[in-house]
Structure 1
């Protein structure tokens, strides 16, 4: 009997095997299970909520997230619809093993010469992780403004390593010197200014809610 309200004709004729029955799940399947678990966690959904949205039973979802079963194509399609992701995108995330170690010369650097701003992505990329470490570098007089964060409620830690940074959080202004660290959640406007005659270098830890 199908575990969903959808037609049985769309289900795989054989149930996904558990690890106990088949311990040969590939590394891709294991990473896919981890990614499915993180997608639900990122949205704050319970298994019951996801079951209602996908028509897949709570027990089956739990097995998929624990890597005890490999999803059928139909199940994967329903999960992608619920999460708003193309199936190819989800599979690609599982196929590519993100590096645990990223050497200095491998880190991506984005430079905006007109604004006097340099941003280095220090943390190895990983869509399944919630925290990342970034280094910022502002030339004297640089003024960077953001109207809103990409995700409301981002937890951030700004640690100034060299120079002076003026950081505005909505209408609140903080003047940070070398060694100072500011922690907050970002919901609205923000602004980075280098007010001194010397550049400022700082690190930002960003944690998604």
Structure 2
């Protein structure tokens, strides 16, 4: 949750809140309609759009599914257009403190390109669940850099260890879990269909 007063007007969180409100307006949906489509309560949506609440990874995933966007695309829409070279110091980082997930946009998506690369870190014992593919048929490659992650795609569990790479087309729910004892750090490449 946000401290009283909300995020600074120029922060990523403030731009994300504004973008979420604009997306709903562009689709012509009321808060009730978006709530029905995303499975997120009307009051939570209202607080998100006003910048009073920071979305969890799960809620952002539900909203991305409703809007037919990848999470990276949504987060990129609140960032400036990326230059061809994205230095480590300028790569956008988003944290979900509740789930223990940190997401770095290593190669942010760009309107003219179909692929993007993110670095994800999950704390030991942490898990992320996505109810649906944000864009059905998106191709994903998960390369584990450190640790171990258990990934369930299309009901099939996979244990992916350091150096291993799992590739799949995402059409439904998925789940990432770090069994520990250490955090897992992985690179995820997404390619739009």
Q: Bin the TM-score by the shorter chain.
A: 0.5 to 0.7
Structure 2, unpaired ranges of 5+? 1-76
Runs of 4+ in 1 over 6 A off after TM superposition: none
Show the counterpart of 1:144.
Answer: 128
Give yes or no for the alignment of 1:154 onto 2:138.
Answer: yes
- Do residues 101 (structure 1) and 90 (structure 2) align? no
Partner of 1:190: 174
* Deviation per residue, 1:163-193 (Å, 9 max, x gap): 0100000210000100000111000000000
Q: Deviations over 1:139-174 (max 9, x none)?
A: 011010001111100000000000010000021000
Tell me the SS of whatever aligns to 1:105: helix
Q: What is the number of residues matched between the two proteins?
A: 115
Q: What are the ranges of 5 or more consecutive residues in structure 1 without an aligned counterpart?
A: 1-92
> Does the C-alpha gap of structure 1 residues 195 and 97 become closer, same or farther in structure 2, counting only changes over 3 Å?
closer
Distance 2:148 2:113 in 1: 30
Residue 157 of structure 1 aligns to a residue whose secondary structure is strand
Partners of 2:109 and 2:115 within 8 A in 1:
no
Q: Which residue of 2 aligns with 1:6?
A: none
What is aligned with 2:185? 201
